[in-house]
Amino acid sequence: MPLVGIAIVIGLAGIATFRVQGFPGRFPAEVSWLLEADNVERPYRYQRCFLDPNDKAAEFAAECVEGGRDPVLLWGDSLAAHLYPGLHEASQASDVGLAQFTTAGCPPFSGPDTFSNAACRHFNVVVEQKIRELRPSRVILAARWPLNALNLEQLVTQTVSMLRENGARDIYLVGIKYVSLLDALCPGGQCVVRLGLRRGDLMTADYDHFTKRGSEHAVEQLKGQLPF
């Protein structure tokens, strides 16, 4: 067969495999559920309260602030957004408001920030304005923290200072030394990867982002370390 013909056949096979999600029927029913995880865009509120920094025209929706006065404010990147489903569940149970301002790939840094790119700096300035308007007394910061950044401590310190100046009394840093997901979810070094045998019971949808069910479980395990 000519090389062009072989390439076409391989291409068509690839398209077919993609459309049927990798021929999941090749796995026995007992393990096929392991391939199924919820799409996280809806529970994270993608393009509404979890924005794409490449979309310069994106704006946080009105629904990003839930509840009455003084909502708990969640700020950070996708590792903040993946906490939202669990925090929302907890806030509903405790009748506490919740505000979500998260942007993909953008750690929650305030002021002169030499780490983030221009797009992230733009959205962080937008969040700072929201903070000045809301003056939340409780703020949760979560991100894939750049632990190799030489000025990480300075960036966190100036962010905390800005929050204090705008009414924050309690500040929770998730993922670094203050609130450890690893300690909460992997006691004795043993991590839970699924919470049942049904669709959606996987803890994560990929290498480190919670499913809706995983987020609810994580927040439950962090009870006492977060404001709910």
Give residue-wise pLDDT tens across range 106-147: 999 998 776 778 999 999 999 999 999 999 999 999 999 988
- Of 225, 213, 224, the closest CA to residue 86 belongs to 213
Which residue blocks in 23-166 are alpha helix, DSSP H? 29-32, 41-44, 78-81, 84-94, 118-134, 152-165
**CA–CA separation, 19 and 34 (whole Å):** 19
**CA–CA separation, 183 and 173 (whole Å):** 14
Asked if 77 and 123 touch (Cβ cutoff 8 Å), the reply is no
pLDDT: which is higher, 96 or 41: 96
Which neighbouring-strand residues pair with 99?
Answer: 65, 73
Question: What mean pLDDT do residues 203-227 have?
Answer: 91
Which pLDDT score, from 0 to 100, does residue 38 have?
A: 57
- Strand 72-76 relative to strand 138-142: parallel, antiparallel, unpaired? parallel
The whole-model pTM stands at: 0.80
Whether the per-residue pLDDT at 172 is higher than 90: the answer is yes
Per cent of the chain over pLDDT 90 is: 54
Alpha-carbon 137 to chain mean position: 21
Which pLDDT score, from 0 to 100, does residue 15 have?
A: 42
Question: What mean pLDDT do residues 214-220 have?
Answer: 94
Residue 82 pLDDT grade (very low, low, confident, very high; cuts 50, 70, 90): very high
Asked if 119 and 56 touch (Cβ cutoff 8 Å), the reply is yes
- Of 94, 95, 92, 117, the closest CA to residue 107 belongs to 117
**CA–CA separation, 108 and 80 (whole Å):** 9
pLDDT, one tens digit per residue, over 5-61 is 444 444 444 444 334 444 445 545 545 545 555 566 789 999 999 999 999 889 999
Mean pLDDT of the residues in the chain: 84
Would you kindly state where each structural domain of the chain is located, as residue ranges? 1-35, 38-221
Question: What mean pLDDT do residues 158-170 have?
Answer: 96
